[in-house]
Structure 1
Amino acid sequence: MMNKILLVCLLFNAGSSLTCKWMDRDFKLYSESLLALLKTMKNNSTDDIDLDNVVFFPNELYNHASKESHEERLHFVAHVLDEIYALFEENQTHASWPESAVEDFLDLISQQANGVRGCQALTQHKKSHRKMTMYFKRLSRHVLQHMDYSADAWEFVREEVRIHLHRVHLLASS
C-alpha cells in the first residue's frame, strides 16, 4: 500500500514539474522575445497623446495578485496575456509597424498564454479580473478608437503593453 502511495506521489510530482518546467525555461524566453519585438515596433513619434484619453491601469490588481497563490498568479498572468492578444487584434491600419511584426507578436503571446495555462492545475478559477478587462476595454475605446487607431495611439498602447509584459514577467517569476 505504501508503495502505491509513493508511486502516485512520484507520478503527480513528475507530471507537475514537467508541466511547470515551461515556466522556468520557456516563459522567460517568450517574455524576452515579446519585449524585443515590441522594441523593434517602436515609433519615435513627436505627437503627444491627449492626457484626457489616457487610461491608467489599476495597479492594485498587480499588488493583490502578487499576494495570491501561485495558481491565482498564473491565472492573472494568463488573463493579462489574453487581454493583450485581443487588443492587438484590433485595426492596425495606421500603426507604424509591419503586419508581419503584429502576426509574430500575436503568435508569441498566444503561445505564452497557452504555456502559462498549461502550468495551471485543472481547477476552475472563480476569480474574475473584471477591473483588468474594463481597463483594456477603456484602452481600446478611449485611446485607440477615439484617436482613429492612429500611429500615435498605437505607440501609446505599445508602451503600455511593454510595461504589462514586464510586470507579468515579474509576477510569474515570484
Structure 2
Amino acid sequence: MMNRIVFACLLLSLYSAGSSLSCRWLSHKFRQHTENSLELLDTMANNSTNTTEDAELEVAFPHDLYTQASKASVGERLGFIVQILEQTAALFEEAHNSTLWEEKTVEDFLNVVTQQADGLRSCNGSNSHKKNKKLQMYFKRLSGHILGRMGHSAEAWELIRREIKIHLFRADQLASSLLTTN
C-alpha cells in the first residue's frame, strides 16, 4: 500500500515538473524569437526600394479574433498563436522568388517563425488545436487579394510585411498574457 502511495506521488510530481518544464520555452525563448523576427521584418523594409504608403487593396485586420483568443483557454491561445506563425510561414514561403528582399533574410525569418511555432507546440503538448477558420480565411485573402491582385509586386509585399509585423506583435502580447496567467 505504501509503495502505491509513493509511486502515485512520484508520478504526480514528475507530471507536474514535466508540465511546467514544457512551457519554459514560452517564458525564456518566445520573446527573444519575436524580437528577432521583428528585426528581420524591419531589415526587409530597409532593403526594399518601395516607398509607397498607400494601397489600392486592403484586407481588414482581424482584431475581433485576437479579442476572442485572449478570452480563450491557455491551450486554445497557444493554438491560435501557432496558427498565426504557421500561416505567416506559409505566406512568406511565396516571397522567395517575387520580392526584392535578400533571400537570406527571408530564410532567416522563416526559420525563426518556424522555431516559434515548434516551441509553442511543445508547450501545448499533445493538445491539438482546431484551426480558426476565420484566421485561415484572412491569410488566404492576404495571399489572394493583396499578393494575387497586385501581382506579387514590391508594394504588395510591403503591405504584407506591415500586416505580419502587427500580427507578430499581437501574438507576442497574447503569449505574454499566458505568462501572467500561469
Question: Into which bin does the TM-score normalised by the smaller protein fall?
Answer: over 0.9
Partner of 2:59: 55
Structure 1 residue corresponding to 2:135, chosen from 132, 137, 143: 132
Provide Cα deviations, 1:39-77, integer angstroms capped at 9, x if missing partner.
1111363334434x2111221110000001111100000
How many residues are paired up?
A: 172
Partner of 1:101: 105
Provide Cα deviations, 1:56-103, integer angstroms capped at 9, x if missing partner.
122111000000111110000000000000000114434231011111
Which secondary structure does the structure 1 equivalent of 2:52 belong to?
A: coil
**2:89 corresponds to 1:85:** yes
Partner of 1:46: 51
Contact 1:54 1:143 in 2 (8 A): yes
Partner of 1:34: 37
Distance 2:165 2:6 in 1: 49
Structure 2 residue corresponding to 1:118, chosen from 106, 109, 122: 122
- Structure 2 unaligned regions, length at least 5: 178-182
Distance 1:123 1:167 in 2: 22
Distance 2:139 2:127 in 1: 25
Task: State the Cα RMSD in Å.
Answer: 1.5
Distance 2:90 2:59 in 1: 17
Which secondary structure does the structure 2 equivalent of 1:90 belong to?
A: helix
TM-score (ref. length: structure 2): 0.89
TM-score (ref. length: structure 1): 0.93
Partner of 2:158: 155
Task: Identify, as 1 or 2, the structure richer in helix.
Answer: 2
Which secondary structure does the structure 1 equivalent of 2:60 belong to?
A: coil
CA 1:86 to 1:58, structure 2 compared with 1: closer, same or farther past 3 Å? same
